[in-house]
Amino acid sequence: GSACSSGSLSPSHVLRAMGLPEGRVGSAIRFSLGRDNTLEEIEYTVTRLEEIVARVRAVASPGEEGETETLPFEDVP
């Protein structure tokens, strides 16, 4: 699936074809880069994404039947 179809709420058929679990398919994030993107913008995005993923993983804890608790949106900068 391309980033240009990211407005769609349908899960990526490509990720499904790769055999990823539905939870993973539905939680994918797509990024699109163009010739006008700078290295600084890319590095900033990667750094922020790493920080957010680390925070979410820190608060996620296995619950009943594989459910997880995740960080509320208002706590994510």
Instruction: State the number of CA atoms in the 13 A half-sphere of 53 facing the CB.
Output: 9
Query: Is residue 22's pLDDT more than 50?
Result: yes
Question: Which are the catalytic amino acids?
Answer: 4
- Do 59 and 71 form a contact (C-beta atoms < 8 A)? yes
pTM recorded for the entire structure? 0.55
Q: Which amino acid type is present at position 56?
A: V
Within 10 A of 69 (CB to CB), how many other CB atoms are there? Answer: 10
Give pairs for 58-62: CB < 8 Å, separation 24+: none
Q: Quick one: pLDDT at residue 9?
A: 72
Residue 12 to residue 41: CA distance in whole angstroms:
26
Query: Is residue 77's pLDDT more than 50?
Result: no
